[in-house]
A and B are shown apart, each in its own frame.
Chain A
Amino acid sequence: MINEKPTLKSTGKALLYLLPMLVITITFSIYPIINSLLMSFYKDYNFYTDKVGSWGLDNFVYLWNDPDFHLAVRNTLIFVAGVVPITVVLSLIIALLLNQTKWVSGLFRTVYFLPFVTSTVAIAMVWNWIYQPDYGLMNYFLGLVGVHPIDWLNDPHYSLLALIIMTIWKDLGFNIILFLVGLNNIDAGYYRAAEIDGANAWQRFWNVTIPMISPITFLVSVNGVIGSFKVFDQIFALFQGKPGPGKADLTIVYYLYEKFYTEYKYPIAAASGVVLFGLILLVTLVQLWYSRKHVHY
């Protein structure tokens, strides 16, 4: 069986096995992707008759000139840059701490994992309360260190930060679990060897833990970048169906949603989706290129 040569019959048989999954994938993934790519080039389009009058780059020109879209891209980039690095570093630190104290780690692992399995809407409700300017926990704790109350959800200067903080908290649990798995997979022998080689705890961390855990760090950051670029539900839930005060939390996906569901400009929504895809692809490629040198499998 191992050295079997592919024949017409065996290929056909393999295709038959693959067919159920292929049908599902083509219908629900490949076809919509191709269609939305095509739709982004519709110039004149009648939704009700599904007739395309003419094709062109007009949708992309519209985006290029739309200040709302500029704002959406800017907010998305700030959001990604705020969420991903902090999530990676913070979840690694917490995972390291949990890895040190074996006896309570089970409890804390569950505690940190809870946000991941809780519905975003429920989380947003709780954070709505935490961010409440007069009675919220956030302002209470800030008050303890002498910071004046902030109107987190209604002040355009702070609402994006509020969104970033909530997202970091929500993402921590899953990433901590991933890091814990990675840490557990590092052979204790390397730490003994490093200790013999004269590496102190700090040097062991930088020369053993960091390189050995790099595949997980890579996974977590790529996953985080893609997830953060697509941020939508947290905004919708946290600001009750608005993109924040004065559009301060307008992101690309939120922009896409508005164009599609409230303004019915389908081709423009499709075009913004293509731009988002291009951005994610670009950043992921950069990460992939970086990983060639710095990720050790």
Chain B
Amino acid sequence: MKVTFKDVRLSYDGKTDTLKQLNFTIPDGALVSLLGPSGGGKTTTLNLISGLLPATSGQIFFGDTDVTKQDALQRKVGMVFQNYALYPHLSVRDNIAFPLKMQHVAKAERYQKAEELAKLVHVDDQLNKKPGELSGGQQQRVAIARALAKSPSLLLLDEPLSNLDARLRIEMREEIRRIQRETGVTTIFVTHDQDEALHISDAIMVLNDGRIQQFSTPTQLYDRPENLFVAKFIGEPVINTLPAEKLAADLTNHIDGDILVRAETAGIRSEAIVPNDYGQGVLTQIHASLHQAQKYGREATATLDYQGETLLSTELAGLPRDQSEGDFFLTRAGFFLFDNRGELIYGGDADDQ
């Protein structure tokens, strides 16, 4: 089901706005991530969708229905909580069947449905256990099954993977993607982990400071960040930023003068600094001294000193060790200029050219 926010505002204390004028549409059947740092408004947005929190002003639509005034009971969404909130006194079977019990579905029927869902999330051999006897990953699966039990048109997941260890997290995010594809349910996924969001989402909404910073596909988010916050937030290692004026001399012949005048900050992705021009769309050449090179497993990073600014590159692995100074190239892809409000004014269109 399509979810639309129209000028939604939320204030907990009536003075400061936690969420400011939220406008967006989540398309039917998509898996959308809400991504951002802690305190950015992700979970608050999710609670607004679920109905656990009423909006201070604005309207919320499910499909074409205005649900702004409805509470969580009436909205009938499925939700997976960060700590799963499985009922400790009920068996896995009863936990999954609980939403159906609340709808007074006959016992045999709801147990049959619970078993089907347990199969879908691969916990059908754990049905008689209590949640306390399950591992974190299994509890997570049970929580998803419970959320799906009433066949919701909307599935909300609030940081569902943050309590799992690294390997399980990767496994479970693939599982969530699989389950979402199999059921086709519109899914909204809250996370602070960009890796998670980039891997499983159809679209990502970056939230910070109660505002939508960018709402686009994962590729767009990385290749064309709309503002400095998104550029800095997305990508590992973090994008190199430096005052645009330091680069001015090296850019004058390559970028329009009026853009350069407005540019305040330059952002250079670590893979955009390369040792050779192989015709991969080079923007300009810079002269810098090599500072330090490190290698971690598959990754090799090197820091460059350019006019007193430190730049990090991941493309300098093959460089001779004794070379301490030289010319390096900046590629067009991964180079951005932002104005004094942090808005993107140059870059991000390398693919189009």
- Which of A's residues lie within 8 Å of B, judged by CB? 187, 189-190, 192-200, 203, 207-208, 211-212, 214, 296
Contact = CB atoms under 8 A, between A and B. Distances in A.
B89 A197 contact: no
A200 B81 contact: no
Interface stretch (B72-80, B221-229, B323-331): B72-80
Nearest to B149: A197
Given A203-B102, A207-B98, A196 B79 contact: yes
B87 interface: yes
Contacts of A197: 98-99, 102, 146, 150
B87 A196 contact: no
A198 B74 CA distance: 8
Given A198-B76, A198-B103, A199-B102, A192 B150 contact: no
Given A195-B52, A196-B50, A198-B150, A190 B103 contact: no
A208 B99 CA distance: 13
A85 B48 CA distance: 42
Contact of B85 (A193, A211, A214): A193
Tell me what chain A mostly uses at the interface: helix, strand, loop, or mixed.
Answer: helix
10 contacts: A192-B85, A194-B98, A195-B52, A196-B50, A198-B103, A199-B102, A207-B98, A208-B87, A211-B87, A296-B89
Given A193-B79, A207-B98, A198 B73 contact: yes
A12 B82 CA distance: 50
Contacts, number: 58
A208 B79 CA distance: 17
A196 B103 contact: no
Interface string B95-120: 00011011100000000000000000
B317 to A, nearest CB: 47
B46 to A, nearest CB: 11
A166 B159 CA distance: 53
A207 B87 contact: yes
Contacts of B102: 194, 197-200, 203, 207
Residue in B71, B79, B85, B146 whose Cβ sees the most chain A Cβ within 10 Å: B85
Contacts of A212: 88-89
Nearest to A204: B102
Contacts of A194: 87, 98, 102
A197 to B, nearest CB: 4
A259 B72 CA distance: 65
Contacts of B138: none
B284 interface: no
A217 B330 CA distance: 71
Given A187-B83, A195-B73, 19 more contacts: A189-B83, A189-B85, A190-B87, A192-B72, A192-B81, A193-B81, A194-B98, A194-B102, A196-B50, A196-B52, A196-B77, A196-B79, A197-B98, A198-B102, A198-B103, A207-B102, A211-B87, A214-B89, A296-B89
Most chain B CB within a 10 A radius of its CB, from A197, A212, A214, A296: A197
B228 to A, nearest CB: 36
Interface in B248-301: none
Contacts of A187: 83, 85
B11 to A, nearest CB: 20
Contacts of B81: 189, 192-193
Contacts of B150: 197-198
B73 A190 contact: no
Nearest to A197: B99
